[in-house]
Structures are given as structure tokens and as C-alpha cells.
Amino acid sequence: MKRVHFGHSPIPYVFVLPQMLIIGVFFLWPSFEAFRLSFFLEDPWGLSNQFVWFDNYWDVISDENYRAVFFSTVIFSAVVALLSIILALLFAVKVDGLLRLSSTYRPFLTWSYAIAPAVAGLIARFLYSPQIGPLYDFLNQFSTDTWFEPRLDAMDAWLVLASGSIWKQISVNFVFLVAGLQAIPRNVLEASLLDNPNGFRRFWSITLPLLAPTLFFLLVINISYAVFETFGVIDTVYPFGPPSGAQTLVYKVYVDGFKGADLGGSSAQSVILMVIVLLLTVVQFRYIEKRVHYT
Amino acid sequence: MNRLHRYQLADHAILILGILFLVTPLWVVFASSTYPAEYLIRHGLQVIPGDQMVETYWSVLTEKKGFTEQITAARMLLNSMILGVGFAIGKIAISMTAAYAIVYFRFPLGTFLFWVIFSTLLLPLEVRIIPSYKVVADLGLLNSYTGLIVPLIASATGTFFFRQFFRSVPEEVLEAAKLDGAGPIKFFIDILMPLSKTMMAALFIIMFVVGWNQYLWPLLMTTNDDYVTIVYGIKQVMQNLDESRIPEYNRGFALAVLALLPPIGIVLIFQKMFIKGLLESDK
């Protein structure tokens, strides 16, 4: 808020109106609908609607398949988030340490931000394709039988999905980490150079704690990327559906709601996802913002 | 000195490996797109570009050979362009005006509206796709540019971006404008908008790429080929390929390259602005 303001007039209402209209129609209304539908059981023809209290939630939570998908989404998100942050951190530290040429490297590590998750998925699909994929041949040359079979085996499928998702995500983290490293005061680094000649220990005890706010911020961003945006990767690597056991929560909401026409169950899953995002955000604001300091 | 030199050499090696990791997949896809389909099936993916580049790309851009043989890649590119530009401009327009109202006016509902806008940051479109689809269907907006673009705009990242920037504009600017007798609308158009040029450009670049790269929403929204964007279109084309006897991988690869060129071009050409936009809009 500014100290100086314009006086009372209808003008501010006119100015926020477009955004409020769009939010009302395309955010509040559908969010409310998801909430409402999650308490109803609709027959497959959409003819009758029955209020069933928490039955849909109960069905979702007690479904073993859902719990398996939940569990694998957690693992998948953690792996994608951590690996893409660690790799980006390695490149950012190396670029930051270079005196000359650092600006030559930067664009080459930044451009891949522009890759759509769906296109990353397609490229991964070809590189691992049994028909023409070099990575498929490479991984299978170590054994006489084809032990790497991403079309059938869930574990192999996760490998394809994770590598595509990480490949696309490194550059975002790189941009934020380079900016974070540059924000560290040079005199702090110079002072630590005198105290501690060991490069790795200096990084561990000085640079990393100073980068903590950026790293935590990126952790939240990356987890939400891995949970939500990797839908594009899954759906292009597997246009006819992944092998069973290799789907994420968002993919399941889509499959159950659109292909399976189970509106109530899919809505209950949506609401559970909303709660997860809310928790993530609360953690980001409450815990992280308070605990991580530059001191 | 010698040791320092060796360290630096290792650093360069790591960075070059990183760049190879990022660039190689895309290069292989490009190089392979310049070979005939039969050649790729027999010899696998290629690293050195072949001589069929013009033929492949020309046929992809001009021949209707997609999902239902109704759309050319040129049309898909146009649709993506409309989505990217429309999304970016729409987002900038509504979020700039909303941020202006919130920062420069004190009005009874101000704080409440601010929290409503803030709440959109909490829930991405992916968690409410099915009800959003129903709302858009009820409004008769399926298969239209409006239905494609507007629901995607309903998030507050842009508003926060401009709120942050307007707060950093010195108070004296408004005081001086008031002394000169400028009203709220004149102030917005003649003073604040010119001041925000760089910020608008930075946000435009980010939002264009974000809009261009949308996948899930276009997938739900479009059942008519006229509105297929290139990012969504490749999947349909590839799905078709999988079922044909001699999959025309080269055409699929060419489509992937075409889908990537505009956003990559923009990110590289406006690199400084892109980084500024990314760092300040994602918080």
C-alpha cells in the first residue's frame, strides 16, 4: 500500500473487475463444483444424482490402487525435484566460479526452459523407443534378454518419465541458483576463503546455508512441477496409457474423470489434491520463510 | 597456479557435459528429421543431418496429414501463436489493472479482493480440470479461442508481479502527478504504463512461453481440428504414426522441432528480459 492515494471513487472497482470476473467464473465456480460433486454419486448416464456424504472419499482412500499411485507420486516427485535441483546446483556453482567465459555457458544452460513437458515426453519416447531408440539399445546391450522394457515394466517406465521430466526442469533451477549465488556478498566469500582453503568444505559450510532460501523455494516449485506439470510427459510417452503402476495422481484424476466417467470419485481425488497443494503452500509460507535466514 | 588451472579445466569439463546432456536429445531429433522415414527405421536415429530437410519440413507445413487429415502444421503453429500471445496479453492486461487498484487506492473491499486473488495461487488448474471443463462446456466455449485462453488466465502470478513493481515506484511520482492535476486514469495510462514497459516485456516473454507450452487444457478443450495447437497436435500425429506400417518418424520429429523453435528463439533472443521475468514472476 502506498502512503499517497487517490480519493474515493468507483475507479478501483472497475480496474479489478476483469480479474475478479475471470476468477469467479473459471476459478471459484469450478473449485466449488469439484467440492460439491465430491459428495455426490452420479450414475454413468448422468440421469440421477445422489448425495452420499463422504462415501467417495472413503472409496478413494480405501482403494489400494489409489494408495499405490499416491505413494509412487511422492517418490517420483521427490526424485525429480531433488535430482533436477542437484544437477542445476552443480552447473550453477561451476558457472559462478568461472572468472571468464561464464556468460558464454549461460545461454546453453538456460534455453531448455522453453521445452514444453509434452515435447520433452515425446523426445524421451523416441530415445527409449524399441524400434529406433538409441537408449533402448544401449540399456539392453548389457544383458542377453531384454531386461529394459519401458512399455511393460513400471520401474522402467518411471525411469523414462523421470529422465524426461528432469531434462526439461534443470534450466529453471539453474536460473534461480545463479541469481542466488550472485546475491551472496563477495566479501563473505573472500573472508571464508582465508579461513577455509578447502573448496568443498567452504561450499558446504558457507555457500549452501546462504543459498538455503533459494533452495527451499525451488523445492516447493519443483515438487509442484513434478506433481502437476508432468502430466504432459506421461501422456506423450504413453498416448495409450502407461503400464499399470506408472501413473501420478493428476493422471489418475484425468483418467477416472474423463475416460472412466466417475465424476464423484474423480472430484474427491481433486479435493484431496487441493488439500495437498494447500499444505505445501502453508509449509512454504509458515515454516520455511521463518526458519531460513540469511544470518 | 598450475593446480588452479587444473581445477578450472575440470569445471569446464563438467559444464560441457551438462550442455551436451541438454542439447544432444534435441539435436538428434533435428538431425533425424532430415532423413526419409524408411532410412530411420532401418538405421535408427541420426546425428549428422541428412539431405531431406526442405522436403520434410515443407510437407509437414503444407500438407493436411494429421489426426483426421484436417490440419496442417502451419495452422497448428498459428493456433499456438494465438494461444501464446492471447494468454500473455490477457494476463498482463487484467493483472496490471488489478494491481493498480490494489496498490494505488484504498477501498473498502480492497483487502478482501486481494485475498481472493491470492487464493488462486494455491490451486493450479490441474486439480480442477473436470469441473473447469464442465463450466466451459456449459458456457458453450468448447472449441473456441476464448475457451482455450481465458480459463488459463485465472491465476494471480501476474498480479503479484505488478503489485511488487508498483510498490517500488517512488511515492513522489504520484505526488507530482497529483500536483499537475492528473486523475487516476491519466496517471495510469500516461505515467505508470510507460514506467512499466520493461516489466511488461519481461512478463510477456515468460507468459508467451507458458501459454505456448500448455498441454492438458488444450487436450480437454479441443475436439475440433481447427483449434489444435502444435504442442497438442504432435501427440495426435504420433499416435497415428504408431499404428501405420512405416511410421513417418521424420515428420513427427519435424513437428517437434517446429513446436520448440518459437519459444526457444524468444528465450534466447530476449535472454536478459526472460531471466528478469522468471526471477520476479515466480515468487
A203, B29, B121, B126 from A120: Cα distances, Å:
32, 11, 25, 19
CA–CA dist B84, B265 (Å, integer): 14
Domain ranges, ordered by start, for chain B: 63-281
Q: Which of B16, B127, B279 to mutate to test the interface with A (most CBs of A within 10 A)?
A: B127
Q: pLDDT at residue B84 above 90?
A: yes
Average pLDDT of the residues in B75-95: 95
**What is the model's pLDDT at position B258?**
93
Average pLDDT on A15-21 reads 92
Q: Cβ of A171 and B22 within 8 Å?
A: yes
Q: How far is CA B46 from the centre of its chain?
A: 29
User: B252 and A122: CB-CB below 8 Å?
Assistant: yes
Residue B184 C-alpha, separation from nearest chain A C-alpha, in angstroms: 7
In this predicted structure, the answer to whether residue A183 has a pLDDT above a threshold of 80 is: yes
From B18, B266, B267, residue closest to A91, measured CB to CB: B18
Place of cell 520463510: A289
Helix/strand/coil for A206: helix
pLDDT of residue A38: 85
Does residue A164 register a pLDDT over 80?
Answer: yes
**pLDDT band with cut points at 50, 70 and 90 for residue A47:** low
Asked whether residue B141 carries a pLDDT value surpassing 80, the answer given is yes
Q: Cβ–Cβ of B120/A23 closer than 8 Å? A: yes
The residue count of chain A comes to: 295
B121 contacts on A by Cβ (under 8 Å): 281
DSSP secondary structure letter of residue B106: -
The better pLDDT of the pair A46, A216 is held by: A216
Of B127, B213, B256, the CB nearest to A270: B127
> Cβ distance B40 to B249 under 8 Å?
yes
Q: Write the residue in A105, A118, A277 that is nearest to B215 by C-beta.
A: A118
Q: In whole angstroms, what is the distance from residue B129 CA to residue B283 CA?
A: 24
What pLDDT is attached to residue A153? 86
Chain B residues within 8 A of A229 when measuring between CB atoms: 126
CA distance linking residue A129 with residue A131, whole number of Å: 5
Residues B95, A3: Cα–Cα separation, whole Å: 22
Q: What local confidence, expressed as pLDDT, does residue A102 receive?
A: 75
**Interchain CB contacts (distance < 8 Å): A and B:** 286
Give the per-residue pLDDT at B204.
Answer: 94
The rounded percent of chain B whose pLDDT value lies above 70 is 94
Q: What is the mean pLDDT of residues B207-220?
A: 92
Nearest CA in chain B to A275: B123
Residue B281 has pLDDT above 80, yes or no: no
Contacts of A294 (CB under 8 A, 6+ apart): A210, A213
On the question of pLDDT at B163 being above 50, the answer is: yes
Would the pLDDT of B177 be above 80? yes
> Hey, are the CB atoms on B213 and A116 less than 8 Å from each other?
yes
Rounded to the nearest 10 degrees, the angle between the axes of helix B53-62 and helix B249-269 is 90
Contact B29 A123 (CB under 8 A): yes
Provide the shortest C-alpha distance from residue B49 to chain A (in Å): 16
Residue pair A38/A271 in contact (Cβ under 8 Å)? The answer is yes
Q: What is the pLDDT of residue B25?
A: 93
**B105: DSSP letter:** B
Report the complex ipTM.
Answer: 0.88
- pLDDT at residue A19 in the model: 92
Could you tell me the pLDDT band of residue A288, with boundaries at 50, 70 and 90? low
At B1 the pLDDT is 46
Chain B residues lying within 8 Å of A177, measured CB to CB:
none
Nearest alpha carbon to residue A229 among A169, A154, A163: A169
More confident residue, A147 or A291: A147
User: Which residues from chain A sit within 8 angstroms of residue B29, using beta carbons?
Assistant: 123, 126
The stretch A96-107 carries a mean pLDDT of 81
Partner-chain residue, chosen from B19, B26, B155, that has the shortest CB–CB distance to A109 = B19
- Comparing alpha-carbon positions, the chain B residue that sits nearest to A241 is B239
In angstroms, what separates the C-alpha of A278 from chain B's closest C-alpha?
6
In chain A the domains, ranked by start, together with CATH numbers, are 58-291 (1.10.3720.10)
pLDDT band (50, 70, 90) for residue A43 = low
- pLDDT for position B127: 79
Chain B residue with minimum CA distance to A257: B130
Across the interface, of B14, B45, B117, the residue whose CB is closest to A94 is B14
Top pLDDT among B188 and A199 is at B188
For the ranges A277-281, B95-99, B188-192, B268-272, the lowest mean pLDDT is seen at A277-281
Identify the pLDDT of residue B109.
83
Indicate left, alpha or beta for B143 from its phi (over 0: left) and psi (-120 to 50: alpha): left
Residue B153 C-alpha cell reads as 488466465
Interface residue of B19, B83, B105 to substitute, partner A, most A CBs within 10 Å: B105
Q: Among residues B250, B221, B189, B279, which one has the least CA distance to residue B65?
A: B250
Q: Three-state DSSP class for A51?
A: strand
Mean pLDDT lowest for which of A272-286, B165-179, B206-220?
A272-286
Average pLDDT on A42-49 reads: 67
Q: Among residues B179, B30, B157, B45, which one has the least CA distance to residue B90?
A: B157
Phi-psi region of B49 (alpha: psi -120 to 50; beta: other; left: phi over 0): beta
Question: Which amino acid would we find at residue B47?
Answer: V
Q: Which of B119, B113, B207, B197 is nearest to B158 (CA)?
A: B207
What mean pLDDT, rounded, does chain B reach? 86
Q: Quick check: B38 pLDDT over 70? A: yes
State which H helix or E strand residue B238 sits in. Answer: helix B230-243
- In chain B, what residues touch A160 (CB-CB under 8 Å)? none
pLDDT reported for residue A81: 95
CATH architecture of the domain covering B63-281 = Orthogonal Bundle (1.10)
Residue A233 is predicted with a pLDDT of: 93
Judged by DSSP in three states, A6 sits in strand
Whole-model pTM: value is 0.90
Out of A180-184, B50-54, B93-97, B235-239, which region has the weakest mean confidence (pLDDT)?
B235-239
Amino acid at B207: M
Q: Say which residue, B259 or A35, is predicted with more confidence.
A: B259
Distance, in angstroms, between A27 CA and closest chain B CA? 6
Q: Cell 538428434 identifies what position?
A: B28
**B271 contacts in A (CB within 8 Å)?**
106-107, 110
Instruction: Using pLDDT thresholds of 50, 70 and 90, give the confidence band for residue A11.
Output: confident
The alpha carbon of residue A212 is apart from the nearest alpha carbon of chain B, in Å, by 15
Q: What is the DSSP letter of A49?
A: E
Would you call A167 and B95 a contact, using CB atoms and an 8 Å cutoff? no
* Residue A173 distance to chain B (closest CA, Å): 10
Q: For residue A251, what are the CA distances in angstroms to A18, A234, A247, A281, B236?
A: 32, 8, 6, 22, 18
Percent with pLDDT over 70 in chain A: 92
